[in-house]
Structure 1
Amino acid sequence: MHENFLTFLGENMQTFLSFTGFANATWGHIIMLLVGLVFIFLAIKYEFEPMLLIPIGFGILIGNIPFKDAGLQIGIYEEGSVLNILYQGVKQGWYPPLIFLGIGAMTDFSALISNPKLILIGAAAQFGIFGAYIVALQFGFDPSQAGAIGIIGGADGPTAIFLSSKLAPNLMGAIAVSAYSYMALVPIIQPPFMRLFTTKKERVIRMKPPRVVSQTEKIVFPIIGLLLTAFLVPSGLPLLGMLFFGNLLKESGVTRRLAEAARGPIIDIVTILLGVTVGASTQATEFLRFQSVQIFILGAFSFMVATSAGVLFVKFFNLFLKEGNKINPLIGNAGVSAVPDSARISQNLGLEYDPGNYLLMHAMGPNVAGVIGSAVAAGVLLGFLGAS
């Protein structure tokens, strides 16, 4: 009896141990857990996009707790599990439009309305998307995958998730983590290229103060913006529609509660769910592949090209502008849609060379144009590749 009990106890203990994370851990899990810890460290220590990197970093920890696949429905890729249900917001593209609703309710388009030609800078920065698309094809990715990878250059995480959910669901984890990683690293990636392609004389160009924009213009802008962009690229409607709707809630003056909900509780809740589930989707067995490394390389290339294209376009555009109307090329980097971080970098670099030159309001023009531009670019890619 006593021996039978000890045998029974030993067998149960062995079964219990076989289900622990210690028994099921692989080097892949350890690597990804370290990556998650690095994300959290960067967010807390250096404040690199903490609202994004902490949820994503902790999600990486959640997604890489080793467990025995015994039909327990706890993993993010197991149908019916809680994590899998929450992940549907990423897979089905529900979260990105809600993020865009909040962005629209937070965004002031005055800088762009007061100087419409700045939208060209936002358009030029999207060259990184199509440049990376071409290179990704050379890497051996099919057109749909290449399009989803290229959108990383727009520096817009929700757009990257939305497009990859439609064109390359199997690459979504790597694309999303890459996009958010480079958004967080904007302060490190962009300044070297801004210095490389500008002269000391160009860096101290002072721009005329933006004109005052009327409330009527602010109200009309999201309506006209929606009609122009959505008629041009109907496939971008989920993102563009919610972006301009959120902005109308903000500017109408009569829907303050709705605007506050959109830019407050709604976007905060969705950001948490999106960050954690995107992080959890980096499960080592699914994520640690050579393709993921290629995606990170292409994402970096896309981001660098986008930054350089924005700066170089301003230099080219200045050839056609009279003295006194020229644009400081340091705001060219803001054409990517990492709002408002890239605009802050324009401001900080401008102050470094001229302590009295405040570029923030000017940089916000191409910055918000970049948000629109990345959504339009996603719509173009989805229209061409999604229908093929």
Structure 2
Amino acid sequence: MLNALREIWLSSGFAAIGWRQIVMLLVAFVLIYLAIKKEFEPLLLIPISFGMILANLPATGIMSPPTNGQAGGLLWYLYQGVEADIYPPLIFLGVGAMTDFSPLLANPWSVLMGAGAQFGVFFAFLCAILMGFTPQQAASIGIIGGADGPTAIYLSSKLAPELLGAIAVAAYSYMALVPMIQPPIMRALTTKKERTVRMGQLRKVKKVEKVVFPIVVTILVVLLLPSVASLIGMLMLGNLFKECGVVERLSNTAQNALTNIVTIFLGLTVGATARGEIFIQPGTIKIVVLGMVAFGISTAAGVLIGKIMYKATGGKINPLIGAAGVSAVPMASRVAQKVGQEEDPGNFLLMNAMGPNVAGVIGTAVAAGILLTMFGV
């Protein structure tokens, strides 16, 4: 009996668990707390953190590949959707179906702020190179600055899969922390006079413009950067579903059922890559720090572009909306409005901020395409 009990103990996870796994379980608990108590990106942080728990429980084999005719673990099979670059484009399909590009079409100059916010991506890329990362790893780290989780996963799965867990956790953490990170930067770079600028209502965009836009953007961007055809193509297809008005069932499926299913699979499997023996190392701390730098610089660059446009238009543009040039839709737009209303409660910047915000979604995908073209194998 004692020998049997001893064998059960030795074959259990309790006997095999190490300090790295315990640390990762604690990190997962913190993420679950933030997702539930603080509501920081719960739709992704909960499956990511639970995937971390499953992957760091010893002896489960849940992420093991098939060997010697034996089946692999459940999450290994689901993870093939990440390795084969299936999940991020499908997420983009849903994002496109939920996104209204009218603010960008009403104010095309918004694209400058969306483009300016990508400066943090390339700044962090250069910093990562100086810190000893390979160009492929540096590109994957830099894209965190765009605050676009699916794009970060897409790029890192192609260029630096060994860093996927750390990059995904950093990217989604900073997306969740937008309301905390951005306001101090926005206030520091703007004056009270600039923050109180009222921009007024946007012009009404015609349906034909909304329908033509995703088609034209797909053709132009994919011709320029074929490497992001799947991301841009799915984003714009989802938007065409939304705007054409004749495929409501497809639009609803892309926005709800499909996006929810893919979000579960993506979160679980990305979280499962954050295993203790891979995640806990000095490089992970560097990634977290560089991700913060990238996001901060992206926010600052967007605001500075907004200040330039404020001067160029004689004070008609509120620079705060430049901070919405990152891809966190619509959270960054809400933050711009909130900071503006702290100075003037009657100021409504949300729709004006949505222009740079949706431009940032396209801009981050374009930035990823440039990096993938330069450093892809």
Which bracket does the TM-score occupy, shorter chain normalised?
over 0.9
Match of 1:75 in 2: 62
Separation in structure 2 between the aligned mates of residue 212 and residue 16 of structure 1, nearest angstrom: 69
1:158 matches 2:145? no
Match of 1:260 in 2: 252
Conserved? CA contact 2:309–2:319, under 8 Å: no
Separation in structure 2 between the aligned mates of residue 104 and residue 230 of structure 1, nearest angstrom: 16
Match of 1:92 in 2: 84
1:343 matches 2:330? no
The DSSP-based 3-state class of the residue aligned with 2:125 is: helix
Note the 1:1-388 alignment, pairs <5 A: 9-67=1-59, 74-79=61-66, 80-323=72-315, 326-387=316-377
Match of 1:4 in 2: none
How many residues get paired? 372
TM-superposed deviation, 1:340: 0.9
Gaps in structure 1 of 5+ consecutive residues: 1-8
Q: Which amino acid aligns with 1:305?
A: I
Conserved? CA contact 2:75–2:268, under 8 Å: no
Name the larger-Rg structure: 1
Separation in structure 1 between the aligned mates of residue 167 and residue 192 of structure 2, nearest angstrom: 36
Separation in structure 1 between the aligned mates of residue 370 and residue 320 of structure 2, nearest angstrom: 28
Separation in structure 2 between the aligned mates of residue 155 and residue 268 of structure 1, nearest angstrom: 20
Conserved? CA contact 2:145–2:295, under 8 Å: yes
Separation in structure 1 between the aligned mates of residue 287 and residue 294 of structure 2, nearest angstrom: 10
Match of 1:6 in 2: none
TM-superposed deviation, 1:292: 1.0
TM-superposed deviation, 1:148: 0.8
The DSSP-based 3-state class of the residue aligned with 2:312 is: coil
Q: What's the Cα RMSD here? A: 1.1
The DSSP-based 3-state class of the residue aligned with 2:91 is: helix
1:7-63 deviations in whole A, cap 9, x for unaligned?
xx3222211101222211211111111111111111111111111111112222112
TM-superposed deviation, 1:188: 0.9
Separation in structure 2 between the aligned mates of residue 214 and residue 19 of structure 1, nearest angstrom: 66
TM-superposed deviation, 1:75: 3.1
Separation in structure 2 between the aligned mates of residue 168 and residue 187 of structure 1, nearest angstrom: 29
Q: Which amino acid aligns with 1:337?
A: S
TM-superposed deviation, 1:300: 0.7
Conserved? CA contact 2:92–2:235, under 8 Å: yes
Separation in structure 1 between the aligned mates of residue 288 and residue 157 of structure 2, nearest angstrom: 18
TM-superposed deviation, 1:327: 1.3
Q: Which amino acid aligns with 2:334?
A: R
1:230-282 deviations in whole A, cap 9, x for unaligned?
12211111100000011001111111101111111000000111111111211
Match of 2:69 in 1: none
Query: Taking every aligned residue pair, what percent have the same amino acid on both sides?
Result: 56
Q: Which amino acid aligns with 2:344?
A: D
Separation in structure 1 between the aligned mates of residue 82 and residue 7 of structure 2, nearest angstrom: 35
1:49-87 deviations in whole A, cap 9, x for unaligned?
1111111122221121123xxxx7x23244421111111
Separation in structure 2 between the aligned mates of residue 327 and residue 40 of structure 1, nearest angstrom: 39
TM-superposed deviation, 1:386: 0.7
TM-score w.r.t. structure 1 length? 0.94
TM-superposed deviation, 1:220: 0.7
The DSSP-based 3-state class of the residue aligned with 2:133 is: coil
TM-score w.r.t. structure 2 length? 0.96
Separation in structure 1 between the aligned mates of residue 312 and residue 12 of structure 2, nearest angstrom: 67
Q: Which amino acid aligns with 1:108?
A: D
TM-superposed deviation, 1:91: 2.1
Q: Which amino acid aligns with 2:265?
A: L
Change (3 A) 1:316 1:86: same
Separation in structure 2 between the aligned mates of residue 198 and residue 21 of structure 1, nearest angstrom: 54
1:77-109 deviations in whole A, cap 9, x for unaligned?
444211111111122221000000000000010
Conserved? CA contact 2:174–2:292, under 8 Å: yes
